[in-house]
Homo-oligomer: A and B are copies of this chain.
Amino acid sequence: MEKILVTGASGFAGGHFIHYLLSHREGFEIHGVSRSVPAWDFVPSTEAFLRDHHFHRADLTDAAKVAGLVRKIQPDFILHLAAQSSVAESWRRPVLSFLDNATIFLNIIDAVRLDDNAARVLSVGSSEQYGSVAGNDLPLRETHNQCPASPYAVARVAQEQLAGIYAEGYGLGICCTRSFNHCGPGQDERFVVSSLVKQSVLIEKGLQEPVIHIGNGAIIRDFVDVRDVVRAYFLLLKGGKRGEVYNICSGTGRSVCDIVLQISDLTGIRAGIVSEDLRIRPSDNPRLIGDNEKIFHETGWAPEIPFEQTLEAMIDHWRQRLDRELKTRRTEHT
């Protein structure tokens, strides 16, 4: 039975990926690794995964631990999701953010190299690697220059370049993604769409004044549903070319303000918008929209879930999560 090792398994993309394997791709022995035990409230797979597969608790900044895991598991595939993936956080703690991301990734691929392991590795990168781009460069193709504009983005560029060096120089079976902004049920509220949805649901429940707080509303990003993203990860693990880089994107740009309006249409909630300086970063890219021709051509992948459906799923998820939290609080007070 082929073995897949998923780093960052407890997280948002990790949970969706493992749920995808369990529900659509039977026949794998799944190994998840994270600092905390999975407890996904956004996919119904926590119990099945923990019962029938393998969870390893580990801090991936510990090289010896990572090497031991890779040696023991002997994975056929590694999906590397573990990362500190918030751009905003990387501005607040640039050194930690950069070094953690670089260390974790290097520990994984160096373990594969030293073990002479033939695993195929998917290195997950980010559209932030492109940095500030001119309007007539859109949509971005993989051949476009990278001008990273945050400590997070620099770490991702370094990761991709190191992946290329391990593929070329040491012969490892690595390929890379540049994943554009993904969203979907279960995403942390540090990320913009999840924050907007959560605020709307709080307003709906009378738990927040009818004002949505945003950073820079004019910023345009290319959003993909996480469930489409994890399907792309699977197809690239199986069929991506060694040393190659693939955009994972929808090809459509949406501004933060547009998303606020679209959520408002779905919830029926009318609220003011306040742009807060605090949330505006020292420097930011005005727009990032990707071209998904390459991955479509090589694997047949294209996004399938319309953005509206993503928002609906996120609204549902936040309603349920907040209801659960309120219930817990009420129970605690009685």
Contact residues of A with B, CB < 8 Å? 63, 91, 94-95, 98-99, 102-103, 106-107, 110, 145, 148-151, 154-155, 157-158, 161-162, 165-166, 168-170, 281-283
Contact = CB atoms under 8 A, between A and B. Distances in A.
A98 B169 contact: no
A12 to B, nearest CB: 26
A162 B169 CA distance: 25
Contacts of A157: 157-158, 161
Contacts of A170: 282
Contact of A169 (B63, B150, B169): B150
Contacts of A63: 95
Contact of A99 (B103, B149, B281, B283): B103
B106 A283 contact: no
A63 B151 CA distance: 17
How many subunits of this chain does the assembly comprise?
A: 2
A165 B150 contact: yes
Given A63-B95, A99-B103, A103-B99, A148 B161 contact: yes
Contact of A94 (B94, B103, B106, B154): B106
Contact of A162 (B98, B107, B168): B98
A145 B145 contact: yes
Given A99-B103, A168-B283, A169-B283, 18 more contacts: A94-B166, A95-B106, A95-B107, A95-B110, A98-B102, A99-B99, A145-B145, A148-B161, A149-B169, A150-B169, A154-B158, A157-B157, A157-B158, A157-B161, A168-B282, A169-B281, A169-B282, A170-B282
Nearest to A168: B283
Given A94-B106, A95-B107, A165 B145 contact: no
5 contacts: A98-B158, A154-B162, A157-B158, A168-B282, A169-B283
Cβ-closest 10 pairs across A and B: A169-B282, A158-B158, A154-B161, A95-B106, A169-B283, A95-B110, A154-B162, A168-B283, A148-B161, A154-B158
Contacts of A158: 98, 102, 154-155, 157-158
A139 to B, nearest CB: 20
A157 B145 CA distance: 13
A95 B159 CA distance: 12
Contacts of A155: 158
A242 B169 CA distance: 35
A98 B63 CA distance: 14
Contact of A151 (B99, B149, B165): B165
A63 B95 CA distance: 10
A106 B102 contact: no
Contact of A110 (B94, B106, B283): B94
Nearest to A283: B169
